Structure 1
Amino acid sequence: MDDTLYGKRDKRGNWTPNKKLQRSPIFVWPVQPVKFLRWFLGYPGYLWPWNAGYFAISLIVWLYLTPSLETMREFHAQWMSLILARNAALTVALYGGFHLILYVMRRQQTTFKYNAKWPDSDNQTFMFGNQNAENIFWTMCSAVPIWTAVEAVTWWLYANGYLPYVDFADHPVYFVALLILVPAWRELHFYLIHRLIHVGPLYHWVHKLHHNNVNPGPWSGLSMHPVEHFLYFTGVIIHFVVPSHPLHSMFQLMHAGLSPAKSHVGFDKMVVDGDHMIDTDNYYHYLHHKYFEVNYGEKRIPLDEWFGTFHDGSSESDEVMARRIKAKKYVRGGSA
């Protein structure tokens, strides 16, 4: 597979796609119904393959790998341990699977890899001097337990009737519409808490740990400070006030827990076989790790465009970013 057909490499071997990042058709005016339907139903698009995949996992987990609500009316170590083990197994399978194929076996070497370097294995910035080791530690020892704790509280609230509940049989259209909106809410919530933890002391105390991964890999996705993990998984609280089914909350939590592997994978495409590829759709967030003060959200909702922090990967965006940073430094210097 020749990745130069889809992008270009600089002198250091770093790869960038030819296509600039663009708005999702839902936020383009005048309305473009054909493009919208292609984006919404097509491949790759809003539903396929990633959101549909996360939902399929959520449905299977809810039906077969989650105790009954009756069981979860009281907090007990037995059922919470089962959820912890299940979340840990899913994390190892997905994050470890991406890492094994792309970073251990290196099946496509650096084809479609944004940064030609591999994760640091001798860098004292990271715990144990090893980027992957630190990433795995924070993922398995902080992210998974906090994810599980938030999930356990959510099931306990549902089981005891403390949350507004809606059933598919009674409101099928509303039920499906809410499922479709879960990824959009996830994106909005992520943007809000992400901007918050980029502010002053919060960045240095909390978010800097995640940004040590300038060259992210799959395990970097949930490598965060425990405070950030808690804030990140609180996206589920939307279902504490909006009438929902536990499946909506499961989708919310599974999406939050599993999607960072793909969004930090470091490769634009995964080569499956010959000319067959899977688009990882993570260039938008990669640019955030590369440039720090851009692309705080995701590309489906153009919040970064609206607030002046959008970078599409072009040299023009580099110039805009440089002017913005220079202006910010000037203001700070003038106010000192």
Structure 2
Amino acid sequence: MDDLKFGKRNKRGDWAPNQPAETAPLFAFPPRLMAVLKWLPHYFFPWNAIFAASAVAYWAWVIPPVETMRTLSLGWIAWLYAVNAVAVFLFYGAFELHLYVLKRQENRFKYNGKFPADHKSNAFWFERQNLDNMLRTFLWGVTIWTAVEVGMLWAYANGYAPWLSFAENPWTLALVALVVPIIHEFHFFCIHRLIHTPLLYKWVHSVHHNSVNPSPWSSLSMHPIEHLLYFGTAFYHLFLPSNPILMLYQLHYAGFGAIPGHVGFDKVEIGKEKLVDSHAYAHYLHHKYFEVNYGDALIPLDKWFGTWHDGSPEGEAQMQERYRRRKEKLAASKARLEVGGAAE
């Protein structure tokens, strides 16, 4: 597959798409009906459909009976951790094997032309990004994922969360299912801005940003506090008219859904002719520039708050202008403090 038909590569070997990143037309004003209808299939396929199907599969074959979940016990908790760990290993590992171990695409469609395994860095445990990322994923990521899952299932089993049946409330639950990605986007943007405040960034979020060149195992490589905030997206279902399957969908959207944004490739080649879009460019730019694209572009929150970067020269200029204004503001503030101190 010739990736230069879709983008360009610089002298360092980094690839960028020809088209700048775009926000979804869902919240455009005035409304763009035709654009929404054209975009709508991408809302469901392939990623959201995969995460929803995995939630249904969990409910059918993994989640214990309600009677069992009414009481917290090591047996079913350990079972859920084991299934989650295996699922993450297989799902994340499939992308890692295809793109980074076997390198079946080489560096076609890869934003950063380098591969993390080829470079050591003391920012990571054992100076290895992949090993560091995997350990953090399984030690804390899957553990906290499972803890939130167990807590929510226990709440449903004991009547502490609203549990609507699909038979009696099909339209309500269909609406909740449709907005699961929107809930995730809103939650992710809010906690992401929070952990970019100086103190939390230094002690919490910097762990995730060590992976400047993200790969699949970077997806859940976080500080435990960030894991708890991130998977806290499931807690909305304590108040929403919802269902355990939709809560699982919300969790899987966060857990398995972290992969597309960190896969490091714009498109994944399936066979010789088929391409699957990762829609990762906006989040890759966040890992590259740190202070842009706090959301995933489903809701144009970054546009509304002035932190959007679409990868274009215009986006770069806007980012640099924002940095310049902030630098001037800090310099002015420092000057006022110095004048005030001299006056005393």
TM-score of the aligned structures, taking structure 1 as reference length: 0.97
Work out whether 1:23 is the aligned partner of 2:23: yes
Determine helix, strand or coil for the equivalent of 1:16: strand
**1:249 pairs with one of 236, 239, 247:** 247
**Percent identity of equivalent pairs:** 46
Q: What is aligned with 1:80?
A: 77
CA drift of 1:118 comes to 0.6
Q: What is aligned with 2:332?
A: 334
Moved over 3 A (4+): none
Q: Distance in 1 between matches of 2:26 and 2:161?
A: 31
Q: What is aligned with 2:147?
A: 149
After TM superposition, the structure 1 stretch with the greater mean CA deviation from structure 2, 22-31 or 257-266, is: 22-31
Per-residue CA distance 1:168-209 (angstroms, 9 max, x = gap) = 111111111111110110111000000000001100000001
CA drift of 1:26 comes to 1.5
Amino acid at match of 2:325: A
Amino acid at match of 2:28: V
CA drift of 1:315 comes to 1.1
Amino acid at match of 2:115: W
Q: Distance in 1 between matches of 2:45 and 2:37?
A: 12
Q: What is aligned with 2:56?
A: 59
Which protein shows a greater Rg? 2
Amino acid at match of 1:244: S
**1:104 pairs with one of 83, 101, 105:** 101
Q: Distance in 2 between matches of 1:272 and 1:57?
A: 21
Q: Distance in 2 between matches of 1:169 and 1:272?
A: 38
Amino acid at match of 1:231: L
Q: Distance in 2 between matches of 1:227 and 1:135?
A: 16
TM-score of the aligned structures, taking structure 2 as reference length: 0.95
Q: Distance in 1 between matches of 2:244 and 2:128?
A: 39
- Segments of 5+ residues of structure 1 without an aligned counterpart are none
CA drift of 1:210 comes to 0.4
Amino acid at match of 1:28: A
CA drift of 1:269 comes to 0.5
Amino acid at match of 2:47: W
Amino acid at match of 1:33: L
Amino acid at match of 2:221: S
Q: What is aligned with 1:68?
A: 65
- Segments of 5+ residues of structure 2 without an aligned counterpart are 335-344
Per-residue CA distance 1:49-90 (angstroms, 9 max, x = gap) = 110111011100111111011110000000001100010011
Q: What is aligned with 1:182?
A: 180
Q: Distance in 2 between matches of 1:61 and 1:117?
A: 36
Q: Distance in 2 between matches of 1:123 and 1:53?
A: 34
Determine helix, strand or coil for the equivalent of 2:256: helix
Determine helix, strand or coil for the equivalent of 1:95: helix
Determine helix, strand or coil for the equivalent of 1:90: helix
CA drift of 1:125 comes to 1.2
CA drift of 1:30 comes to 2.9
Q: What is aligned with 2:342?
A: none
Per-residue CA distance 1:26-63 (angstroms, 9 max, x = gap) = 122332222212211x2xx1111110111011100111
Amino acid at match of 1:95: Y
CA drift of 1:255 comes to 1.1
CA drift of 1:311 comes to 0.3
CA drift of 1:220 comes to 0.3
Per-residue CA distance 1:75-110 (angstroms, 9 max, x = gap) = 000000110001001100111110000000000100
Amino acid at match of 2:45: W
**1:138 pairs with one of 136, 146, 157:** 136
